[in-house]
A and B are shown apart, each in its own frame.
Chain A
Amino acid sequence: MNLSDYYAITPLVFLVCWAIFLLLVDLWIPAGRKGITALLSAAGLLIALVLVLRSGEQVLTAFEGSVVVDGFSVFLSVLFLVSALAGIALAHDYLQRLGLERGEYYPLLLISTSGMMLMTYAYDLIEVFLALELLSIPLYILAGFSRLNLESEEASLKYFLLGAFSSGFVLYGVGLVFAATGYTDFPGIAKAAQNGSLNPTLFLIGAGLVLTGFGFKSALVPFHMWSPDVYQGAPSPVTAFMSVGAKAAGFAALLRVFVVVFPGMSVNLTPLLWALAALTMFVGNIVALVQSNIKRLLAYSSIAHSGYLLMAFVPYGNASVRSDAIAGMLFYLAAYCLTTFGAWAVVIALEKAEGKGLELEDYAGLGHRYPFLAATMTIFLLSFTGVPLTLGFWGKFYLFSTAVEGGFWQLALIGLLTSLISAYYYLRVVVIMYMRPGTPQVQRNFWPLLTSGVGALAVVILGIAPGVLLNLAVSALLKGL
């Protein structure tokens, strides 16, 4: 145990220290000028981003092998840091407008981000659990940030109770895996699994419980019940951050655990994953059809996207397809991140106090009065649908093609069908924006507009040249895993 261990996780250490520093500094920043805290925390995130990118080509192991920093974790860390930056850009003006301005928002966001990063480094089940708590607890608090709003309080409490429940599942699963193998670190468990020196029943139940716990976090059907209420009740910037960050972190943990620890269990687990993916795609997309509130609509759409992401796991036991599938998943996550933040930026621009301005009807006439916002929203919705030449199309294309290569063409077919269904509710918003007369009211603020503009630009450019992003994802996987 020495300093070189901490050197391997410099970005994480820096981020946590910066968050604690900000908690202190914030006390001297007068109310009404919390923009300074926002800027400082954004600066901290940028420095952490530089530190992550600087880490270079080599794979670092630290803390007796319980931390591994490889290309996979670097790719996802960048994704999380960018998400947090977007979360801050969307939040500042929103919090001020709704009278929620509290400096603690930003340090809590940073702590949650550090938990997500730790999740990608973790190579030990205890560490995975602690990272899960580190990322979740600030999110429970942030969901209830608008304290006097009953919906926000409900969201916070619901998220906390079900989150604690799902943490219990993960912990019990970890306990059973430990009971079956005698190890909690990934290499130890993998070795025990190869030797066959384990109790297969306990091991399988443990794996199932871990899957259930992370299924809650990533809102897979049938563990998705909390997510529409929480996404609707939480302040919109928090929802945006949560729907990208927490989901991606949940998938990151599942990926590490399944690929490194449970490859031998694929015979038992693949049908389960198959069913979960198919169910999630169907339920998410079909329930989204009848939503009239944009936040709920995006919540169900995010559930549906969990289903597409889970599709990448199904062929994980097949070594020849596995790396392609994971690269496809990383690509899809990046596409989902850009699109989601852009769409939420538009939602935030239209949202007014006390939950007004969130119905689909409020978007009527947006196309004529605010062509820029309507155009960006259209791009995001098309990308969500997976219309060709958007980023979302390539994401789905890679996922579906790896599913077919892995021999799961039925699943790809289900994905295709549900994408068709999803076109209805996504395009309905576009139709309302352009075809219906109305006078929408928009808060013109620089940062949300910038977020949606950058998001739209990225979705279009990367949609024309998806190879850049895919190469990044593939080269990330070449480093380790």
Chain B
Amino acid sequence: MLTEMAIFIFLALVVVASAMAMLLSRNAVYAALFLAMNFVTVALLYLILGAPFIALVQVTVYAGSIMVLFLFVIMMLGAERLPGGEPLRGQRVLAILLGCVLLVEMGLIFALRSGLLQIQMPAVVFSEPVDLGELLFTRYQLLFLVTSVILLAATVGAILLTRGDKVSLRDLLQRKE
């Protein structure tokens, strides 16, 4: 119980700190990476709540695909170029160290999977994909549909507000003259 609490408090601090760092950092790429960190940490919070499926969805959808899109757009617009060299000193050493940690973790997972370590995996209690799907299509059916309409409206809006049509281009040129 106490370790759980400690882990939770640590993760909560990381979540808040990374969110703050995202807001405060001046470089758009750093901000995006802090956001990714935030998403991954929130996924860990889901994990300790016993919801591995949601945690994985959070990682793949938010920290994965959405963040990649963000980074693409930022780099395409060239917003990452800020003056100054390598601001974080010693980050190469740190990178090697953290890479080693990652390798060790991968080894551990492999060991766990192959049953070498004899550790009991926690039994999943809820939020299996099947249960979740059942809830979405029964109790929360209406909300599911409403969400889809919200996304539709947002898509229409994104196209509407960014699409360059002939009329508006002409107006722009007129305004410049």
Interface residues of A (CB under 8 A from B): 1, 5, 9, 16, 20, 23, 31, 63-64, 66-67, 99, 102, 104, 107-108, 111, 114, 118, 126-127, 130-131, 133-134, 137-138, 140-141, 144-145, 147-148, 156
Supposing A64-B139, A137-B157, A138-B157 touch, asked if A130 and B147 sit within 8 A by C-beta, the answer is yes
Q: Are A148 and B175 in contact (CB under 8 A)?
A: yes
Q: Are B138 and A130 in contact (CB under 8 A)?
A: no
Q: Are A127 and B142 in contact (CB under 8 A)?
A: yes
* B47, CB-defined interface residue at 8 Å: no
Q: Are B156 and A133 in contact (CB under 8 A)?
A: no
Alpha-carbon separation in the docked complex, A133 to B137 (Å): 21
In this complex, the member of B137, B149, B152, B175 whose beta carbon has the largest number of chain A beta carbons within 10 angstroms is B149
Alpha-carbon separation in the docked complex, A99 to B167 (Å): 8
Q: Are B167 and A134 in contact (CB under 8 A)?
A: no
CB closest residue in chain B, given A141: B157
A66 contacts across to B, CB distance below 8 A: 139, 142
* B153, CB-defined interface residue at 8 Å: yes
- Closest Cβ of chain A to B151, distance in Å, is 9
CB closest residue in chain A, given B157: A141
Q: Are B172 and A1 in contact (CB under 8 A)?
A: no
Supposing A118-B146, A130-B143 touch, asked if A147 and B168 sit within 8 A by C-beta, the answer is yes
Q: Are A137 and B146 in contact (CB under 8 A)?
A: no
Q: Are B156 and A141 in contact (CB under 8 A)?
A: yes
B24 contacts across to A, CB distance below 8 A: none
Question: Which positions 77-125 of chain B face chain A at CB distance < 8 Å?
Answer: none
Alpha-carbon separation in the docked complex, A272 to B133 (Å): 41
Q: Are B141 and A141 in contact (CB under 8 A)?
A: no
Q: Are B156 and A108 in contact (CB under 8 A)?
A: yes
Alpha-carbon separation in the docked complex, A126 to B135 (Å): 14
* B4, CB-defined interface residue at 8 Å: no
A140 contacts across to B, CB distance below 8 A: 157
* B161, CB-defined interface residue at 8 Å: yes
In this complex, the member of B141, B143, B168 whose beta carbon has the largest number of chain A beta carbons within 10 angstroms is B143
A126 contacts across to B, CB distance below 8 A: 140, 143
Q: Are B149 and A104 in contact (CB under 8 A)?
A: no
Alpha-carbon separation in the docked complex, A131 to B150 (Å): 9
Alpha-carbon separation in the docked complex, A78 to B125 (Å): 46
- Top 8 nearest A-B pairs (CB, nearest first) are A141-B157, A130-B146, A111-B153, A63-B142, A137-B153, A138-B153, A1-B138, A104-B160
Alpha-carbon separation in the docked complex, A108 to B156 (Å): 8
Alpha-carbon separation in the docked complex, A127 to B140 (Å): 9
- Closest Cβ of chain A to B38, distance in Å, is 14
Q: A23-B156, A107-B156, A127-B146 are in contact. List 19 more A-B contacts (CB 8 A).
A: A1-B137, A1-B141, A20-B152, A63-B139, A66-B139, A99-B171, A104-B156, A108-B153, A111-B152, A118-B146, A127-B143, A130-B143, A137-B153, A137-B154, A137-B157, A141-B153, A148-B168, A148-B172, A148-B175
Interface residues of B (CB under 8 A from A): 137-143, 146-147, 149-150, 152-154, 156-157, 160-161, 167-168, 171-172, 175
- Closest Cβ of chain B to A55, distance in Å, is 17
CB closest residue in chain B, given A133: B150
Q: Are A63 and B141 in contact (CB under 8 A)?
A: yes
A156 contacts across to B, CB distance below 8 A: 161
Q: Are B150 and A130 in contact (CB under 8 A)?
A: yes
A131 contacts across to B, CB distance below 8 A: 146
B153 contacts across to A, CB distance below 8 A: 108, 111, 134, 137-138, 141
- Closest Cβ of chain B to A440, distance in Å, is 26
Q: Are B171 and A108 in contact (CB under 8 A)?
A: no
**What are 26 A-B contacts defined by CB distance under 8 Å?**
A1-B137, A9-B142, A23-B156, A64-B139, A66-B139, A66-B142, A102-B160, A104-B156, A108-B156, A111-B149, A127-B142, A127-B146, A130-B143, A134-B149, A137-B153, A137-B157, A140-B157, A141-B153, A141-B156, A141-B160, A145-B160, A147-B161, A148-B168, A148-B171, A148-B175, A156-B161
- Closest Cβ of chain B to A117, distance in Å, is 11
A111 contacts across to B, CB distance below 8 A: 149, 152-153
B157 contacts across to A, CB distance below 8 A: 108, 137-138, 140-141
- Closest Cβ of chain B to A234, distance in Å, is 13
Option from A23, A127, A134 in Cβ contact (under 8 Å) with B150: A134
A138 contacts across to B, CB distance below 8 A: 153, 157
- Closest Cβ of chain B to A92, distance in Å, is 17
- Closest Cβ of chain B to A126, distance in Å, is 6
B175 contacts across to A, CB distance below 8 A: 148
In this complex, the member of A20, A114, A137 whose beta carbon has the largest number of chain B beta carbons within 10 angstroms is A137
Alpha-carbon separation in the docked complex, A126 to B141 (Å): 12
B139 contacts across to A, CB distance below 8 A: 1, 63-64, 66
Alpha-carbon separation in the docked complex, A443 to B66 (Å): 48
Option from A23, A67, A99, A114 in Cβ contact (under 8 Å) with B142: A67
CB closest residue in chain B, given A107: B156
A134 contacts across to B, CB distance below 8 A: 146, 149-150, 153
- Closest Cβ of chain B to A165, distance in Å, is 12
Alpha-carbon separation in the docked complex, A147 to B160 (Å): 9
CB closest residue in chain B, given A118: B146
B143 contacts across to A, CB distance below 8 A: 126-127, 130
Alpha-carbon separation in the docked complex, A9 to B147 (Å): 16
A102 contacts across to B, CB distance below 8 A: 160
B141 contacts across to A, CB distance below 8 A: 1, 63
Alpha-carbon separation in the docked complex, A335 to B168 (Å): 39
B161 contacts across to A, CB distance below 8 A: 141, 144, 147, 156
CB closest residue in chain A, given B151: A137
CB closest residue in chain A, given B137: A1
Alpha-carbon separation in the docked complex, A88 to B167 (Å): 22
- Closest Cβ of chain B to A398, distance in Å, is 34
- Closest Cβ of chain A to B152, distance in Å, is 7
In this complex, the member of B146, B154, B168, B172 whose beta carbon has the largest number of chain A beta carbons within 10 angstroms is B146
